[in-house]
């Protein structure tokens, strides 16, 4: 196998494990067992460890002495800090998107429409996936590479799928309605309103997650 092929293989394993973490298939605290993963991906331990090193650098997994590698569990303080930054940068993305021609926002409206269908079907996991896509698409349309990288990194660290089962039907509807209001403001070219709505949307998401956080996490520094 050439060096180039090895790099591509590491990238493939890294991307797949990251996808499983972000989607909620691998929840915070889960131990990533080398023997299981090498068999699953049919790769050597050297290749797997290189992929895991990249995930450690992304703050998605952590190496715990005498315990191995686990999906990172955020502290209460980290959750608050990440959402505080998200509220600011994603509000900026909404403002920038409102300056764009409407025909550049077709994918955003399509994702929003699919989100509405998921809410109607009460499909929480699909709505969560569409929610992630909505926020990332809003970043992508701005064309601001620095903003995109910041939002992508922050969103990857928020693994909230363990709380999806606690969301009521009304919680899903509120989240979806918020998306639709943001899109409406963006299409109207009202950057100030889009910015304000997005900031409130992120803050509401933080409040919901914190209401679900167990005391053990709240006490973790």
CATH entry, 76-218, from 1.10.3720.10, 1.20.120.530, 1.10.150.170, 3.40.630.30: 1.20.120.530
Q: Where are the alpha helices (DSSP H) in 24-168?
A: 34-41, 45-57, 76-97, 106-120, 124-142, 145-157
| pLDDT for the residue 208 | 86
| pLDDT for the residue 113 | 96
Backbone dihedral angles phi then psi of residue 219, each to the nearest 5 degrees: -90, -5
| pLDDT for the residue 24 | 76
- Same-fold call for 3-71 versus 76-218: no
CATH entry, 3-71, from 1.10.10.10, 3.40.50.720, 1.10.3470.10, 3.40.605.10: 1.10.10.10
| pLDDT for the residue 108 | 95
| pLDDT for the residue 74 | 84
| pLDDT for the residue 215 | 65
| pLDDT for the residue 176 | 94
| pLDDT for the residue 21 | 87
* Tens-level pLDDT at each residue, the chain (221 residues): 676 677 889 999 999 999 888 877 888 889 999 999 999 999 999 999 999 999 999 889 999 988 899 998 888 888 899 999 999 999 999 999 999 999 999 999 999 999 999 999 988 878 888 888 999 999 999 999 999 999 988 888 876 555 666 677 888 899 999 999 999 999 999 999 999 999 999 999 889 888 877 666 566 55
| pLDDT for the residue 122 | 87
Q: H or E segment at 62?
A: strand 61-64
Site of tokens 């209460």: 76
> Residue ranges per domain, the chain?
3-71, 76-218
């Amino acid at each position: 196998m050439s060096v180039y092929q090895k790099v591509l293989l590491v990238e493939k394993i890294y991307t797949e494990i990251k996808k499983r973490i972000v989607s909620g298939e691998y929840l915070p605290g889960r131990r990533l067992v080398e023997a299981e993963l090498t068999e699953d991906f049919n790769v050597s331990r050297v290749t797997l460890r290189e992929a895991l090193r990249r995930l450690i650098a992304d703050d998605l997994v952590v190496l715990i002495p005498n315990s191995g590698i686990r999906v990172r569990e955020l502290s209460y303080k980290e959750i608050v800090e990440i959402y505080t930054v998200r509220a600011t940068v994603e509000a900026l993305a909404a403002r920038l998107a409102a300056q764009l021609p409407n025909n550049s926002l077709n994918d955003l409206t399509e994702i929003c429409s699919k989100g509405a269908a998921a809410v109607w079907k009460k499909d929480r996991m699909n709505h969560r996936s569409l929610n992630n896509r909505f926020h990332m698409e809003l970043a992508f349309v701005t064309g601001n590479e620095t903003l995109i990288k910041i939002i992508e990194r922050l969103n990857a660290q928020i693994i909230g799928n363990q709380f999806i089962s606690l969301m009521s039907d009304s919680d899903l509807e509120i989240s979806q309605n918020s998306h639709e209001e943001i899109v409406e403001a963006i299409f109207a070219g009202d950057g100030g309103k889009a910015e304000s709505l997005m900031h409130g949307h992120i803050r509401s998401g933080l409040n919901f997650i914190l209401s679900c956080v167990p005391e053990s996490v709240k006490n973790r520094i």
